[in-house]
Every structure is written in C-alpha cells, then in structure tokens.
A and B are shown apart, each in its own frame.
Chain A
C-alpha cells in the first residue's frame, strides 16, 4: 500500500481501488443479531453508501470490513484476497471516523504523515505526500495547526487526507459528517466525493442520512435488521424502492388505503400500477411519493378527482411541500415553489395521483396518513 519510493506523483493514482466483496457476513452481540448474512460487492473505485436507521447493522458491516471486529460467519475479500482473518493493521484500509479521531498532540501535517511513518516511508517523501494530501483537501494553510485549532469540518478533511495518504485499497467512512452543521456537511460531502473520484479508491460510506447517501454514492444499500433491503443507484432506490421499508425510509411517502385488483391498486378512484406484480387482490396500503401528487385549483380546466383544502406549505427552496386535507386523510404533495404559491393555506384544490408504479403494504388496519 505504501511505497517508500518516490513516484512521478505522490498522490494515489486514479482508479486505484480494488474489488471488495462482503460474503454472507454474520455478527451477533449477546444474542442480538447485528448482521444477518450481508452480501455486497463493491466494484473497483466505486463508492457505495450503506444507509439505514440506528441499529440496522451498517456500522457493524463497516467495522467487519475494517477488521476492527471479528465476524461470526462469512468472508471479506479485497481484490480476490480473503482478508477475513487479517488484522486491521494489515488490511491496507483508510478509515475516517465520526469525529474526534485526529491525534490531538500532532499537527495536521503530522497526523497525515503518521500512517506513512508507521510504514517507514522516508522523511522527505512523507512530508511531500502529506503536503500534497493536505492540498488535495484544501488545507495547506492549516498544515501546522493542532486539532483543537481546526473547525469540525477541517478536522474531518484532515482525517480524510490521513486515511488516503497511505494509499489504501479501501476507504471506509463511518458517518464522517454526522457531527457537523448542515452547511459544512453539504460542502464536505461534495468534497469527499470529489476527492474519492480523483483518487479512485473503492469506498464504503456509512450514514443514516438519506440525502447524504443519495447525493454521494454510485450505489446505495438500504439496510434493516442486519440485512440489505435494496442495493442500487440512488435514483432507482428512490424512485423504485424494492420494499415498503425502503419506500418509507428513503424519502417521504403518502400511505393511502386502496384495493388491489387485476395487477393494479385502486386508490380513491385512480388505478396505479404495482411494483409487486405478484400481488393478490384485496385491500392494501399504497405508498405514494409526494412528487406523484399533483394539485389544481378548483376552477382549473384539468381538475383532479379528489377535493381537498391546503392546510400548510413548507418552503424547501426550489420546491415546496404542500399538505392537503382530504377530510379523512392528509396528503403531501411536492411541487415547484412557483406552483405551490398558487395554493396558499385555506385554498380549495383538486388533487390527482400520477399513475407511477407504487409499492403496497398488506396492512389493512393502518389508517391513511400523509
């Protein structure tokens, strides 16, 4: 991983990553299953985000890949080599933790150079590569500052530079943005992606923040109860959720009672095609994205089939989320802010559901709610 010879460029070469395979990984803690046969393959240079609620097993998966915990079953394979029983310090990984992982008695430069020092890289090469890495993350002016003199975002950028400086086979990011404020988080998220694309290291990114996962990853894996519910490109995971859990965890979902009949679900007079083509006839709850809900004024020439009253509008920037009361249920509609402005609170509207394929849940007892 780390060579003491000086190359033409001290930055890791592009697409330097290896294929990473997690094969049927299992882990239990005191009788509780944290990972229940997780299988996942990361292509060389790919960034996969594991997304899920607390306790779903995503951090456990990352720690097993890192070698910081032992598996109860399954294999971890880097570039064809089984590393399941290889200790963490020999796995050639780079890791960025949630927070507070910089060594406080070392400057940013010393932190970045530390891994190379452990690998006996020469002093001159070490300094040069550490400088290059700090430049890569835009922190050259802060090279001689200690952790307590850096902001949270700067500390995480140093941690990223430190992890990459040893030219790891795999980069592991354990919720690296969760301790930062929203603005810094968005900026650093984009920066992590830029740097990852530049160095081409295969990367596993663990987060509970769906926006982060969808924005940064080549593919997103949604986890629940130690299992992978769905793995796919962000767009697919969002627009074609494979399971009701993915539909409800990724993005907002209207849960509307309906009836399955002949391969479609009828929701308040609108037939919506089904994702689950094998669904049997009968009552079901349809999971409808707010983007699939359209609104029109009562006097509009293209009225929708449902009448309701706007009770609130949440401004989100380019779009707004409008809450419509249909009498027995509230429905969320996501519209362009300019369109939402035409329907202020208290306005009577006509509401329609776009016939996109939807998922259903067999939970007849559940009431409708937005």
Chain B
C-alpha cells in the first residue's frame, strides 16, 4: 500500500469548487406532491372559496346556513345511516372473512384467492356494480324473475333496491372486500404464542379473545370500520347509477344542486355541502390514522 493513495482518494471524494453539494433527493417526491396538489388540494381550495361566495362573488356564510333545510338534513342523515350500516356490516363480515383467511396457510390457495378477489371487488363500485345489481336483483333481474317463478317475491312491499336498504346492500358489496384488505395486516400481527401463553396460564378461548386478541385488534377494527364509513359516506357513482334522481344522500344532493336543468343551480350551497363532507371525512380519516398507529405499535 502506498501512503499517498489515501489522501488522493479523500480528495477525490470531496466536492469540487468548495461549494455545497446540491441535495436532489427531494426531487423523488415531486410527482406525488404535484398530484396531491392538483387533484386534492386545489379542488379543496376551490370548494372552500366557493362555499363562502355569494352568486355576485361577495363573501357570505349563507351557503352554510342554507344547509339547515329539511331535505338536505335528511340527505345527511340518510348518508350517515347508509354509511354506518354498510360499514358495520362490511366491518364484521370482512373481519370474519379475514380471520378465516389467516387461520389457513400464509401461502395457501384460500388466502391468495380471497386477497386477489378482494383487491378487485373493493374497486368494483360505480356504474358496473349498479348495473350488476339491476340485472340480477332489479325488478326484471335474472334472480328476481327466477325466484318469482318459484313463488318467492323479493319485493312484496315495493322495490327496496332503489331505496336506502338497496343502496346499503350495494355498498356492502365493496365494503366487505375492502375490510378484508385493510384488516388482514392486523390479524397477521397476532402471534400464536399469545394464545398458547393464555392457555398455559389457565385461560380459555373466551379469555384469549376477551383479554388478549380482542383488545389488541379493537383499535384496528374500529379504525378500519371508520375507513369503511368514510368510503361509503363519500361514494357517489354507485348511488347515482342506481337511483339517478332525488336527494337521497348528500353526494346526490350536491350533484342536483350543481346541475339543475331548470336554471336553479346553487353552486355555492353545493360547495358548502361538499366542504362539510370533506370535514367529516377528514375527521374520520384522522381518527383512523390514530387508531392504526396505536394498533401498529402492538402488532408489529
């Protein structure tokens, strides 16, 4: 080895010109922030600004006071009911399905099949889902007619498919697979040693779920259910394709207020409604993140 070699290497590694090296690592996140800025922040700012603007452009809060109309309050309540019911149904059914999956082999066929199907079905909303239900469970749907031919009328008291209960059923269709996808990591974090430790300490299956697995999974379950609520509460395309008219839920009311064919569009009120929804979904999402963080600390 030559002693001259060492300083030579050090000199080569030094930045030339005596200036500071440019830090370019932040360039990697530019596309992400550009995307978030254009498709999330900018629309939010436009909606926020529009919700405080009167038709003549002046500043006003009348758009928010106008929300307190019976039909709009009802659409909020309806939206909340559909979201809560479909989130709870999807949450419990999805959690059970996810639990069935984790009890099998990690690389088994059941797990691969369920996770792949869930990945597709969780995105299977909108017009295609509404059409699938209309074609099967609509008044002239295949299943409806088949059952009718066999003496079973699924609409004895009117066509519930186009009402809240029908919408809830449709939402559950994509809520269940979504729950499977978001709840699986928490279930994977549960270690078999905890059940065996409970047993060796004298505990039963009930004790295990009551004192160990239940408390460990509760934050994640609650967080995931909140996510399902936000998912349903902000859904538009499925309801629009299924029902198309009326103000059953808030997104449909917003649509009607923006696209009135009789020249009575109220974009300011629509934006006030949208901003209210954004606030609700933001609160729910923050709660979800907090609960997930708590759960992740335990189930690493």
Question: Chain A residues in contact with chain B, CB under 8 A?
Answer: 1-2, 66-68, 87-90, 92-95, 97-98, 100-101, 103-105, 114-115, 117-119, 148, 159, 162-163, 166, 172
Q: Which residue of B lies closest to A148 (CB)?
A: B297
The CA of A98 and the CA of B193, in the complex, are separated in Å by: 9
Chain A: minimal CB distance from B292 (Å) = 15
Q: Can you list 21 contacts pairing A with B, beta carbon distance less than 8 Å?
A: A2-B202, A66-B196, A67-B199, A68-B199, A92-B202, A93-B200, A98-B193, A101-B194, A101-B196, A104-B216, A105-B215, A105-B216, A105-B298, A114-B211, A117-B211, A118-B198, A118-B203, A118-B207, A148-B297, A162-B197, A172-B200
A216 to chain B, nearest CB (A): 21
User: Judging by beta carbons under 8 Å apart, are B202 and A101 in contact?
Assistant: no
Q: Which residues in A have their C-beta under 8 angstroms from that of B216?
A: 103-105
CA gap between A95 and B203 in the complex, in Å: 13
Check if B204 is an interface residue, CB within 8 A of chain A: yes
Residues of chain B at the chain A interface (Cβ within 8 Å): 191, 193-194, 196-204, 207, 211-212, 215-216, 297-300
Minimum CB–CB distance from A171 to chain B (whole Å) comes to 10
Q: How far is the CA of A66 from the CA of B200 in the complex (A)?
A: 7
Q: Which residues of A contact B191 (CB under 8 A)?
A: 100-101
Which residues of the partner chain B approach A117 to less than 8 Å between Cβ atoms? 211
Contact yes or no, B212 A103, CB < 8 A:
yes
Q: Are B197 and A103 in contact (CB under 8 A)?
A: yes
Taking the nearest CB of chain A, how far is it from the CB of B191, in angstroms?
6
Task: Tell me the dominant secondary structure on chain B's binding face.
Answer: helix
Q: Are B203 and A97 in contact (CB-based, < 8 A)?
A: no
**Distance from B177 Cβ to chain A, minimum over Cβ atoms (Å):** 28
From B201, B211, B215, residue with most partner A Cβ within 10 Å:
B201
Nearest neighbor of A94 in chain B, beta-carbon distance: B200
Q: How far is the CB of A3 from chain B (nearest CB, A)?
A: 13
B215 adjacent to A89 (CB under 8 Å): no
**Closest beta carbon of chain B to A160's beta carbon, Å:** 12
Q: Report how far A98 CA is from B196 CA in the complex, Å.
A: 12
Given the known inter-chain contacts A104-B299, A105-B298, A148-B297, please indicate yes or no for A115 contacting B202, CB distance below 8 A.
yes
Question: Which of B200, B211, B300 interacts with A88 by CB under 8 Å?
Answer: B200
Task: Assess the A95–B200 pair: CB atoms within 8 A.
Answer: yes
Are B197 and A95 in contact, with the CB atoms below 8 A? yes
Chain B residues, Cβ within 8 Å of A97: 193, 196-197
Residues of A contacting B211 in the complex (Cβ-Cβ under 8 angstroms): 103, 114, 117
Complex Cα distance A89/B197, Å? 9
Of the candidates A68, A118, A148, A172, which one forms a contact with B201 in the assembled complex, judged by CB atoms under 8 Å apart?
A118
| Chain B hits for A114, CB < 8 A | 201, 211
Q: B299 to chain A: which residues have CB within 8 Å?
A: 104
By Cβ-Cβ distance, the 4 closest A-B pairs, closest first, are A115-B201, A95-B200, A101-B193, A104-B298
| B236 to A: closest C-beta gap in Å | 39
A93 surroundings in chain B (CB, below 8 A): 200
A87, B202: Cα distance in complex, Å: 9
A253 to B199, CA, bound (A): 42
A88 touches B297 (CB 8 A): no
Q: Is the CB of B199 within 8 A of A119?
A: no
Return chain A residues, CB-CB under 8 Å to B298: 104-105
A89 to B199, CA, bound (A): 5
Determine if B297 and A89 form an interchain contact, defined as CB atoms under 8 angstroms apart: no
Q: Which of A89, A94, A100, A105 contacts B203 (CB 8 A)?
A: A89
CA separation between A105 and B189, bound complex, in Å? 13
Closest chain A CB from B171 CB (angstroms): 32
B200 CB contacts on chain A under 8 angstroms: 66, 68, 88-89, 93-95, 163, 172
Q: Which residue of B lies closest to A111 (CB)?
A: B197
Please report the C-alpha to C-alpha distance between residue A166 and residue B203 in the assembled complex, in whole angstroms.
12
CA of A95 to CA of B67 in the docked complex: distance in angstroms? Answer: 62
Quick one: closest A residue to B205, CB to CB?
A: A89
**Which one, A89, A98, A148, A159, contacts B202 given CB within 8 A?**
A89
Measured CB to CB, the closest approach of chain A to B93, in angstroms, equals: 26
Task: Specify which chain A residues have a CB less than 8 angstroms from the CB of B300 in the assembled complex.
Answer: 148
- Closest residue of chain A to B218 (Cβ to Cβ) is A105
Closest beta carbon of chain A to B59's beta carbon, Å: 50
Q: Kindly state the separation between the CA atoms of A209 and B197 in the bound complex, as whole angstroms.
A: 23
Which residues of A are found within 8 Å of B297, using beta-carbon distances? 104, 148
- The residue of chain A having its C-beta at the shortest distance from the C-beta of B203 within the complex is A118
Q: Are A89 and B204 also in contact (CB < 8 A) when A104-B298, A105-B298 are?
A: yes
B204: A residues at CB distance < 8 A: 89
- With a cutoff of 8 Å between Cβ atoms, the chain A residues found around residue B203 in the complex are 89, 115, 118
How far, in whole Å, are A71 and B25 apart by their CA atoms in the complex?
59
Give the most central of B193, B212, B297: most A CB within 10 Å.
B193
CA–CA, A88 to B207, complex, Å? 14
What is the bound-complex CA distance between A349 and B119, given in angstroms? Answer: 72
A87: chain B residues within 8 A (beta carbon)? 199
Further pairs besides A67-B199, A92-B202, A166-B201: 14, Cβ < 8 Å: A68-B199, A68-B200, A95-B196, A97-B196, A97-B197, A100-B191, A101-B197, A103-B197, A103-B212, A103-B216, A104-B216, A105-B215, A114-B201, A163-B200
A87 nearest in chain B by CB position: B199
* Chain B, residue nearest A97 (CB): B193
- A42, B197: Cα distance in complex, Å: 23
